[in-house]
Amino acid sequence: MMLETFYTRAAVGDHEGALVVKRNYGPEGVTADEVIGDPSGHLGAITIMFQREEGYDPDTGNWFYAKYLADGTLDQNPQGMSLAGLVGKGADAGCIACHQNAGGDDYLFTTDANLTGN
């Protein structure tokens, strides 16, 4: 699996926060050359992390998560729940469960940059 990750700040409504967008390529074992040669053919999903306002969910660093399939539809868990927001909070698997294991206190694996503006 390969990730291509973008970092920025964005405004949603009247709130500005850190935004992380990840393009997830696969299948497992795909090479960088294969992805570069046919990125759309290897795109499996696009995942979003947006840091919402203080108080949204302090237990998860106020991050909102969403996972979209390559066709742009919102992905679902095996129970049919859309993978957006705090779905899976307290579960053993999923976005929140994984990102709670990131080093530091920002829920991000790929950078130690101060994206939150704090």
Q: Is residue 48 part of a domain?
A: yes
- Number of domains the chain is built from: 1
Model pLDDT, residue 100: 87
- H or E stretch covering 44: strand 43-51
Q: Is residue 20 part of a domain?
A: yes
Q: Is residue 98 part of a domain?
A: no
The predicted model scores a pTM of 0.86
Q: Is residue 92 part of a domain?
A: no
Q: Is residue 9 part of a domain?
A: yes
For 5, 18, 55, 78, 91, the CA distances from 21, given in Å and listed in that order, are 6, 10, 22, 23, 23
Q: Is residue 108 part of a domain?
A: no
Model pLDDT, residue 77: 87
Q: Is residue 56 part of a domain?
A: yes
* SS3 call for 18: strand
Model pLDDT, residue 16: 92
Q: 64 and 56 in contact (C-beta within 8 Å)?
A: yes
Q: Is residue 78 part of a domain?
A: yes
Range of the domain at 20: 2-87
Q: Average of pLDDT values for 29-58?
A: 95
Interval 60-114: pLDDT, tens: 999 999 999 999 999 998 889 899 999 788 888 888 888 888 887 888 888 777 7
Residue 118 has pLDDT above 60, yes or no: no
